[in-house]
Amino acid sequence: MKVCTLISGSSGNAIYIETARAKVMIDAGQSGKTISMALEEACCRSPQELDGLLLTHGHRDHISGVGVLARRYRLPVYATEGTWCELDSLPGKINEEQKNYLRAGESLEIGDLKIEPFPVSHDAMEPVGYLLSAGKKAVGVATDSGVFTAQMARMVTNVDGLVLEANHDLEMLKNGSYSWPLKKRISGILGHLSNDTAGNALLRIMGKNTRKVLLAHLSAENNHPDLALQTVQDILTENQVHLDEVDITVAPRYKPSAVISI
């Protein structure tokens, strides 16, 4: 399996995942042109090669390019019923034959890729994360959740690779310029995972197979890549986890990450 974040953060999110017989994208939160260029640059792929577009939820930073990409390249789009309700506000419609409905707890297969959506805790309609597996390898995508639930932990325990939200530093958020209601929303149970929560979540779900972790969806105003990485690493080392056992990196905000081989 290959994994690459094309963009990551509140200004847009998209993740590319490839196996021997499947190529999918999770979310498309920037313009179709921006995402297409990032996919070509990082993975030498065109959107027309995609076998499907999976959506986590209906917030703008995850769906703004969905309509354009789906129509231009005739892509099948997979989302929960709640997310489809949120997508009704998109400019331009996605054809009915391209719409596919997901339910948390039910799986689907695209080529050799098994895809299992699971619920997360976010202020959207039926938001989900994903467990994606091919053969003996598995990758989890767990972002946009105010808490790391027991069900999320069960789904992504001991995965080979993990895209994990580390959205904000608690002190930076507390002392930053955001309004109080927005601070409450971000730090609440329907908001986003902090660096500390991400570190403790990783500590819970790490197993002998867990070798690649990509910290994602960092806030531009309330976090910093070095701080997110250091916070997570400190939590692991304080709990006797050797950092040479797992490769932890941070997803860039405005450009693709390195392609991670699982």
259 domain residue, yes or no: no
CA-to-CA dists, residue 64 to 22, 25, 96, 171, 194, angstroms? 23, 14, 18, 30, 25
81 domain residue, yes or no: yes
Average pLDDT value over all residues in the chain: 96
257 domain residue, yes or no: no
- In tens, the pLDDT along 110-160 reads 999 999 999 999 999 999 999 999 999 999 999 999 999 999 999 999 999
Per-residue confidence (pLDDT) for residue 88, from 0 to 100: 81
262 domain residue, yes or no: no
Residues 6+ positions from 184 with CB-CB distance below 8 Å: none
Given a cut of 70, whether residue 85 has pLDDT beyond it is yes
Per-residue confidence (pLDDT) for residue 91, from 0 to 100: 62
260 domain residue, yes or no: no
35 domain residue, yes or no: yes
In the Cβ-directed half-sphere of 95, how many Cα atoms lie within 13 Å? Answer: 10
- In tens, the pLDDT along 22-60 reads 999 999 999 999 999 999 999 999 999 999 999 999 999
- Which structural domain, as residue segments, surrounds residue 178? 2-252
Given a cut of 70, whether residue 108 has pLDDT beyond it is yes
CB 11 within 8 A of CB 61: yes
193 domain residue, yes or no: yes
The count of structural domains within the chain is 1
Could you give the CA distance from residue 262 to residue 252 in angstroms, rounded to a whole number? 19
Given a cut of 80, whether residue 209 has pLDDT beyond it is yes
219 domain residue, yes or no: yes
CATH label of the domain that carries residue 75? 3.60.15.10
Could you give the CA distance from residue 139 to residue 4 in angstroms, rounded to a whole number? 12
CB 117 within 8 A of CB 141: no
Q: What pTM value is reported for the model?
A: 0.96
- Percent of the chain at pLDDT > 70 equals 99
